[in-house]
Each structure stands twice: as C-alpha cells, then as structure tokens.
Structure 1
Amino acid sequence: MNHKEIIQSIQKEMKEFFTQEHTGHDWYHIERVWKNARKIAANYPEANQLHIELAALLHDRYDHKIVDNVEKAKLEVRDLLGQHGLSKELIEKILYSIDAVGFRNGKNPLQPISIEDKIVQDADRLDAIGAIAIARTFVYSGAHQRPIYTGESQEILEKAEQLEDTAIGHFYEKLLTLSDTLHTPEAREIAKDRHKFMREYLNQFFAEWEGLK
C-alpha cells in the first residue's frame, strides 16, 4: 500500500471505531485534529507527513477515556500499523507521538521531542481551545454528570487549585492554559483568537450567573 492508501484505510477504521463515542472524543474530533495536523505540517516539508497523519488519526484510539484496557488497545494499534507494512521504527515513533499528546491531571511525563510529536500535540490542543472546545466541555461534562458550575469566585478559579469538578472549572484547570504550551508558531497564531473567545465567553457567563446581563 502507498502512503495515501494507508491513511485512507486507517481513516476508515477510526471512523468506524468512534461511531458510538458521544463524549466529545468522537470521530469529528479526530477529523479536526487530523486537519489541524495537516495544516501545520504543510509548513514543515522536512517532517514525516505519514507519521504525522497516522498519529493524528490514532491519537485517541487507546486513550483511557475511551477504552477500558489501555495496554490492550495500544497493542491493537501497534498490530494495526504493522499490518499496513510500517517499519517497527516508524511504529514506535508514531506511538511515542500519541503518548506525548496526552494531558492528564494537568501534566504528561512524556514530552514531545520530534517536530512530528510537536505538530500532533499542537493539533490536538487546538481542538481544546475556542468555540468547539466550549461545546466539547459541556458535552463531556453532561456525559459524566459533572455540574456546570458551583459558584466559586473567579479568584479561586484563576488559581486553579483544588477546584470543584465542574465544566467551568475545567476551563481554568486546562483549556485556558493550553495556548502557552503550543510549540509551533502556526498553532500559536490560530490559538490567539480562540483563547480570546473563551475569555469573552466566561465574562458573559459570569455576568449572566450574577444577573448583571
């Protein structure tokens, strides 16, 4: 199989796999991350484009939020890539990119090293900044019976320490921090307006919560 056929095959498999996912980590999220990755990667002709696209398409395939057995699912991804004729070296690089994407409890012990790692991580984080990120936060919160907000002051929220597990709290523990973690100038530029929009949304939210607007 050539590179285009491999990508199309993996794309089809991921679209089918995520059919029943309804917490914001669905196929449409995968597709947006894939598009973000391709958009950023266009500025880096020296990067391995196959590596980037496959890591983007597979980045949630063995995420702990999606599967019960992460190690088993990771083995399935390794086998899947092997079935498509990829070298062991490339498979391990793709898996590292996927592992470096994560953002669990505000951190990840694995840091992106290669330009491919950085592009895939940036592509995923862009989908957690902006209007769609707001929608995804409330979808995920509803699916996990997490309240919208429990009335903490904005001062407490800004400190992002020991927050209640709420949709609004998630903005402060994660979404508002992501712009500063992006690696590529292309991603940082896209993030500017998205970050600003989230801040404007929160201003409106708190004004309505207090009955000021």
Structure 2
Amino acid sequence: MTDSDDALFDRVAAEMAAHLDGDASGHDVHHAWRVHRLGVRIADEEGADPRVVGVVALVHDLHRVRGDGFTHPEETIPEVREILADAAVPDGLRDPVCHCVAVHEEYGFEDDPTAAETVEAEVLQDADNLDAIGAVGVARAFQFGGAHGNLLWDPERPLPDADDAYEKDDHEDEQASTYHHIHAKLLRLHENMNTETGSDIAAERHAFLEEFAERFEAEWYGER
C-alpha cells in the first residue's frame, strides 16, 4: 500500500460519508472502515488486489441506507459508479469494485455456490461477514435489532437448527429477535468463508460467539 492508495481510500470514504452518516443499524462508516482494514489484511495474504478490496469495502453497503425494506446491492451499482467517478477512482478498478458490490450478499449457504467470480469478491464477503461475528458482531446485531424494533429474544419461538434453510429477511420480519438471528445466520458464517485467512480469523470469532450464546441463555434463565 502507498500514500496514493491511502489518499484514494480517503476520497472514497469522504464521498460515502454523506450516505452513511447517521446510520443506526450497524452499517455506518465505522463498519465500512473495519471491513476495509480486514479486507486489505486478507487481500495481502490471499493475493487479491488490495486497492479493489479497499475501495469496495467503503462503498459496499450503500444498499443498506436505501429505504426501509431490503434493497439488493446490485440495484445500487449506478449510484456506486457515480461515487467512484466523483472520488476519481481509476477506471480499471471500477468494474471489479462493482462486481464485488453486486454479489457480496450472495453467501452460498448450504450447497448453493457463491456468486463471487473473483478473489476480490471472495475477500470482501469474508471481511464483511467477519464483522458480523465476534465481539463487534454481537454489538452490531443488537444495534440492528434495536433500530428495527426487534425483541432481544422470544424463547417461545424455536431457535433454528443448523439444517434449517437461511432466509435473508429473517432478521427483519415482524417476529424477529436478535438472538434468533444469531442462530439463524451468525453462528453459520464461519463455515462460509471463502479464503483460508478468513477461515482462520472466523474460527476464533466463532468461538467467542458460541461462548456468548451459552452465557446469554444462562443469564436469561438466571442460571449465572
């Protein structure tokens, strides 16, 4: 990485600030920078282009601040291209960045193949998913739940088994609870890493998430 790369990233972040400032769902500029730092770290280990990963980490969640319902990331590509142009991102980076944005929420759960066609897209998925597990991931989950009026947990609602199909909108339905979402999605993410580096980081964060889940239920029932 060079000083010019840092300047590039700062320009992109400055363009994104107006879109992400004020977000209360856990997809704010701090999330973008965390994904950026993890992504560049993984890219260096996995032979991906750190400039592509570094830029896309900063713009990948534009869809999260586009209305109350779910907006597919691909729908934001025209606006992402405008942001890249305004930030003077080199032409050669723009198509790879846009591909990463478009497919980063296609997780490949169960036996479905991931939609990522480049190592940069795989790295972005890993970095983004890593920010959803571990200590920060737990905090973000409850921040998101609070922003959407979700319960902490409804113990009358069965927790999903590992074999249950993941539903993308599960965290936002009218019966949603944050603890349910932790079981429905977050405790599965470590198995869906694309890269060896991502898997190594995920293993440690997953262990923390398992410990949190055990402690959460014990405290819920007054056992600890």
> For residue 54 of structure 1, what is the aligned residue in structure 2?
55
- Change in 2 beyond 3 A, CA 1:152/1:130: farther
Number of aligned positions between the proteins: 206
* Percent of pairs with identical residues: 28
Q: 2:43: which partner in 1? A: 41
1:101 aligns to 2:98 (yes or no): no
Of 11, 20, 24, 1:9 maps to: 11
- 2:116 is matched by which residue type in structure 1? P
TM-score w.r.t. the length of structure 1 is 0.85
Q: How far apart in 1 are the matches of 2:156 and 2:187?
A: 17
1:79 CA displacement: 2.0
* Secondary structure at 1:12 match in 2: helix
The Cα offsets for residues 8-30 of structure 1, whole Å up to 9 and x where unpaired, read as 21022223431111111111110
C-alpha distance in 2, partners of 1:35/1:4?
Answer: 12
SS at match of 1:42: helix
Partners in 2 of 1:72 and 1:120 — Cα distance? 18
1:76 aligned partner: 79
**1:208 pairs with one of 197, 219, 224:** 219
Contact 2:46 2:197 in 1 (8 A): no
- The Cα shift of 1:172 comes to 1.3
Query: SS in structure 1 opposite 2:116?
Result: coil
Separation in structure 2 between the aligned mates of residue 153 and residue 19 of structure 1, nearest angstrom: 35
Deviation at 1:37, TM superposition (A): 0.5
For the residue of structure 1 that corresponds to 2:21, the secondary structure is coil
Give the alignment's TM-score, normalised by structure 2. 0.81
Question: Residue 122 of structure 1: CA displacement?
Answer: 0.6
> What is the alpha-carbon distance in structure 1 between the residues aligned to residue 89 and residue 154 of structure 2?
51
Ranges in structure 1 where 5+ consecutive residues have no aligned partner: none
Give the Cα–Cα distance (whole angstroms) in 1 for the partners of residues 187 and 90 of structure 2: 37
Q: Which amino acid aligns with 1:14?
A: M
Residue by residue, what CA displacement relative to the aligned partner does 1:121-153 show, whole Å, maximum 9, x if unpaired? 111010011111111111111111100111147
Contact 1:48 1:116 in 2 (8 A): yes
After TM superposition, list the pairs within 5 Å mapping 1:148-163 onto structure 2.
Answer: 148-152=152-156, 156-159=159-162, 160=164
Consecutive unaligned residues in structure 2, runs of 5 or more: none
> Are the counterparts in 1 of residues 16 and 83 from structure 2 also a CA contact under 8 Å?
no
